[in-house]
Structure 1
C-alpha cells in the first residue's frame, strides 16, 4: 500500500505577512510545497492531501489547478468549528487555528492508509521522503508504529527572528522518548536561547528537532480525537492555546501507546518563517536546480 502525503497549508502566515504556502520561491515560480510533492511522488507516495482553509481555497486553486490537474491530489479543510461531537459550539468565537494536531485530525476522512505529515512552507529534501516512505511500507493501517525525520536544531534557525521547534530525545534503539515544543528559539550573542519571555533556556544547537515531518497510521486520528476532547474542555477559553502534534506524540509515548522511530535525512532543511527568509531559501533551491537535482519545471 502506497503512503499518502498530508501537507498542512492552512496557516495564516502572520509572521511572513501573507500566504507563504503559495508564494513563488523556486525556479519558474514554483512554491516550496511543489518540491515536496515532486519528491514524495518520486519516493513512491500514492496520493497527496492538501489541507487548507475554505477562505483561501480559491487562492490555492488559482495557483495550482492547472499545475496539479494530472496529480493524485485532493483538498481537505481545517476550520475552527470542526470539533468532536457535542463540542462544536466551542469553536464559534475562536480566531486562532487550533494547531497542527487538530489540522491532522481534520484530514481523517481523506486518509485511510499510512501517511506522512509535512508543513507546506518547509523544504525537506528528497532523501527525507525516501526514508520515511520505506518505513511506512512496513506497517499496516492499524499499527501503532510511527516514525519521524529529525534535523539538528542549529540547521533549522532563522536569521530573521525566533522559531518554534519540537526538541526530541531518543533511546539507544533509535526510538523517540520525548518531544518538547520549545518556542521563541533564536541565535543570540550568548548562544541559542529559547523561552525568552520567561527564564531563558540555553541550547547547544546539536539537539534533534522535529520539523513536522511525521509518519503515522490512521490510528493517530483516534488517539488525537480522545486527547483533543480533553484539551478543549481545559482550554476552550484560552484563545492562545494550541493542540500541537508533539503534544499528542509525547503523551502517546509516555503512556506506551505508540513507538516512534527516529529517522534521519542527508539533505538540508530549508524554511521560510519570515519574509526576510525568502531570498536565502530561493537562492538555495535555485542552486539545487542548477546542480540537476530538480528539473526547472516540476509539473
Structure 2
C-alpha cells in the first residue's frame, strides 16, 4: 500500500539526461530512450529507439519495419537511470498487468520497458520527471570488442582520482576483466 499515490499530488522523479553521442558504442547498435525536455528541465516525452548506431557518417536508428532514420546525436538520451521513490510501483502496476495480458506480448522474449510507461504517465499528468543534464560519457560492455575500451576507461578514471582503485576488495580492472560477453 505504500506504493499507492493516495494524496492526488503529482509524483516527482528525476533522471540524468545524457547526450546521445556520449552513449553510443563504436562496435554496434544500442537502445536508448530518446527524450524531449521542456525549458524548465522537465521530461515531456521519451521514446524507446532500438538499433541506434553510427552508419555511413550519420547517427541513425532502425524502426520495427527495418527502415533507417537519422537522429540528432545531440538529443537527450535516457540510460534507464532514474531517481524513483516507491510510488513508481503503483504508477507502473496497471501498465504491467496490461503488458502481461496483451495478446501481442511474447512472455518469453517480451520486455516491459520503462520509457513507454513513463511517457504515458507524463502525458496523463501523473508524474513529472526532472532531467539533470550531464555531459558524462557512458561506457560499458555491450559487445566483446567493448571490453578493452571499458578497462582502459576505468584505468583512466582511477588515474584521475575519479574512481577508486579498490572497490569491495578487488581492483576495478580485475572486476572489469572478470566479466565475459
Aligned residue pairs: how many? 161
Matched, 1:159 2:159: no
Specify whether residues 289 and 237 from structure 1 end up closer, same or farther in structure 2 by C-alpha distance, changes over 3 A only. closer
Segments of structure 1 that go 5 or more residues without pairing to the other structure are 1-108, 114-141
How many Å separate the matches in 2 of 1:274 and 1:217?
32
Q: TM-score, normalised by structure 2?
A: 0.81
Q: Shift in Å at residue 265 of structure 1? A: 2.7
2:50 maps to which residue?
183
Shift of 1:235: 4.2
Q: Alpha-carbon deviations, 1:3-36, whole Å to 9, x = none?
A: xxxxxxxxxxxxxxxxxxxxxxxxxxxxxxxxxx
Residues 237 and 249 (structure 1), Cα distance of their counterparts in 2 relative to 1, 3 Å cut: closer
Q: What is the aligned partner in structure 1 of residue 90 from structure 2? A: 222
- Normalized per residue, the structure richer in helix is 1
- The answer to whether residue 143 in structure 2 is matched with residue 274 in structure 1 is yes
The aligned counterpart of 1:144 is 11
Task: From 164, 176, 180, give the equivalent of 1:295.
Answer: 164
| Counterpart contact for 1:160–1:276, Cα < 8 Å | yes
Superposed displacement of residue 175, structure 1? 0.5
- The answer to whether the aligner puts 1:168 opposite 2:35 as a matched pair is yes
Distance change >3 Å, CA 241–CA 217, structure 1 → 2: same
The 5 A counterparts of 1:58-73 are none
Moved over 4 A (4+): none
| Counterpart secondary structure, 1:250 | helix
Larger relative contact order (Cα-Cα within 8 Å, sequence gap ≥ 6): 2
Any stretches of 5+ residues in structure 2 without a counterpart?
A: 4-8, 169-181
Please, what TM-score do these two structures have when normalized by structure 1? 0.50
- The answer on whether the counterparts of 1:143 and 1:219 sit within 8 Å (CA) in structure 2 is no
Residue 228 (structure 1) shift: 0.7
The CA deviation string for residues 223-266 of structure 1, in whole angstroms up to 9 with x for no partner, is: 11111111112146524432101111001001000011010234
Q: Indicate conservation of the 8 Å contact 1:166/1:182, yes or no.
A: yes
